[in-house]
Amino acid sequence: MRYTPVTLLLAFDEQVRRDQAQSAAFLHRRDRRYALDCQQARRRPSLTGWLEHIHPYRSAPTPADDRLRAWRRLSHLLLPVGALLGCLTMLGLLFYDGRQQINVTVIIGFVALQGLLALLTTAQALLGWRPWGRLLTPRGDGGDSALDGLKPQLAACTAHQTALVFALFGWLTLLGLVVVQDLAFGWSTTLRTSADAYAGLVQGLARPWQVLWPAAVPSLELVEQTQFYRLGDTTVAEPARFGDWWPFVSMLWLTYAVLPRLLLAIVARLHLRLRARRLLRLHPGRQSLLHRFATPTVESVGDRRDAQPSDPSTSADTLHSLPDSGAVIGWAGAGAQVTDLLSSLGQVDADRLHAGGTASLEDDRRVIERLAATQTPVIVLTRAWEPPTGELADFLEEARRHGSAERLIALLPVGGEAPLQPASARQLGQWQRFAERQGDSNLWVCRLPEGFGEVRQHG
């Protein structure tokens, strides 16, 4: 699984929000376990590794989610719009009806306007300002805190990308018109500007490519011969000279419209990544996570609701008998006497597996993969006096995700293990409430067969 800085920030923020529904004790045990696994493997804990530890079977980063996909859809939608506008704009700038030359001054002014807009777009991203309002905010993009901090940078990336396509297709349209039409360029301005001053201006603009393409640098003679006046006579001795401006116009557009947008689009992408890394470092959930990594866990009591006595008759009504199973999982170290259980059920050939607790993440994965290969019911043996944890809920969810939704999973809380003893009504009550919270009709809470504890004690 590969995360970019943006998707890592959104994935971490999403998980922190999801963890708010969990107890502090569960979060501490889960995250401390990951830190100890890293210590044993001689590697440093990381946010990426932590997310993979929590969701080991997730094949792709989830926060390429609807919020981020909305921005990507907006960017892709604006690409053809930018291309179309670029073509139409260049057609308008190079409109020529044979009576008046195409004014190079207008093109220079338009390129300067493009450069000014590019600088303003970059400045708003650096300052964290979003002057576009909701113009560049996709529909359905709510006020998510993590994504909200990236919106100025996302807007800048979208704007630069669209403007780059605009400038590139405008340049391609220019080259196409040069081939299929006989364009006549000239220059004119209301200001009292001499040919010498104008030649100095265009030759200064042409300095970046004067060595690569000398023909694209207008000479003083060309500037003098192509100046025109609105009310003056446009007839000239050498009309072909009016077409000699196209190399300059082409390089002017490529150098000052296309290349700056390309460079600023790259800078905007880098700024977005740096901004995402900074927001991740400053995320309030990160410090809490690092604290849980470094702090040893302590024993804690169960949920207060689970500590309340339950109605024995109500609990008995919703309990199930143990099904015939092809596998028995000892959860978090439970099931040291699982052989007794299998013998009493006549299932001596059933698989005996262990997961949770001190078992490694790889052990849990192997158990889930082994269960996915069969469709027989599964018994999960647990200690009734230990309250259900979010770790068990995650294990059951992953088992469902990689197996059949119709498979019967039987939770068997036991009150004692040497030998196995039935759980009390109060203990079974918290497990029944746990099963109800999962919303899984094929997740049963079962009890030991009648007289199982007495038979084993007398035997």
DSSP states of 327-343 as a string?
Answer: EEEEETT--TTHHHHHH
* Predicted confidence (pLDDT) at residue 393 exceeds the cutoff of 50: yes
More confident residue, 43 or 314: 43
- Cβ 390 vs Cβ 302: under 8 Å: no
Which range has highest mean pLDDT (24-38, 128-142, 264-278)? 264-278
| Res 455 pLDDT > 80 | no
Judge if the upstream peptide bond of residue 388 is cis by omega within 30 degrees of 0.
no
Contacting residues for 395 by C-beta, under 8 A, at least 6 apart? 331, 355, 356, 364, 368
Mean pLDDT of the chain: 80
Q: Where do the structural domains in the chain lie, given as residue ranges? A: 66-280, 304-458
pLDDT digits (tens, 9 = 90+) for 308-332: 444 443 344 457 777 777 788 888 8
**Contact residues for 299 (Cβ-Cβ < 8 A; gap 6+):** none
Q: Is the pLDDT of residue 403 over 90?
A: no
Q: Is the pLDDT of residue 84 over 60?
A: yes
Bigger pLDDT: 30 vs 339 = 30
Structure tokens at 211: 């060595």
Which tokens is 252 given?
């002017």
| 392/26 Cα distance (integer angstroms) | 10
| Window from 124-133, 185-194, 291-300 with minimum mean pLDDT | 291-300
In contact, 103 and 187? CB cutoff 8 Å: yes
Distances (CA, A) of 82 to 78, 156, 159, 163, 173: 6, 15, 10, 6, 13
Q: Looking at residue 146, what is its pLDDT?
A: 78
Binned at pLDDT 50, 70 and 90, residue 269 comes out as very high
> What is the Cα–Cα distance from 242 to 257, expressed in whole angstroms?
23
Report percent pLDDT > 70 for the chain: 79
C-alpha to C-alpha distances, 15 to 8, 20, 120, 131, nearest whole angstrom: 11, 9, 36, 31
Residue 312 is predicted with a pLDDT of 40
pLDDT of residue 261: 95
Residue 343 — very low, low, confident or very high, per pLDDT cuts 50/70/90? Answer: low
Distance (Å, whole) CA 169 – CA 147: 32
**Superfamily classification of domain 304-458:** Toll/interleukin-1 receptor homology (TIR) domain (3.40.50.10140)
Spell out the residues 6+ positions from residue 457 whose beta carbon is closer than 8 angstroms to its own. Answer: 419
The CA distance from 290 to 38, in Å, is 13
Please give the structure tokens belonging to residue 333.
């170290």
Contact 257/113 with Cβ under 8 angstroms?
A: no
Share of the chain above pLDDT 90, in %: 28
Residue 409 has pLDDT above 60, yes or no: yes
Eight-state DSSP code of residue 215? G
Q: Give pLDDT tens digits for 415-441.
A: 776 667 788 888 888 888 888 888 776
The better pLDDT of the pair 445, 59 is held by: 445
What is the predicted pLDDT for the residue at 191? Answer: 81
The phi-psi region of residue 319 (left if phi > 0; otherwise alpha if psi is between -120 and 50; otherwise beta) is beta
DSSP string, 12-44: HHHHHHHHTTS-HHHHHHHHHHHHHHHHHTT--
Q: Which residues pair with 381 in a beta bridge?
A: 330, 412
pLDDT at position 310 is 40
Residue scoring higher pLDDT (230 or 333): 333
Residue 17, pLDDT > 70, answer yes
Confidence grade of residue 337 (pLDDT, cut at 50, 70, 90): low
Rounded mean pLDDT, 334-345: 62
Q: Which of residues 368 and 297 earns the better pLDDT score?
A: 368
Instruction: Give the separation between CA 184 and CA 96, rounded to whole angstroms.
Output: 8
| pLDDT for the residue numbered 297 | 58
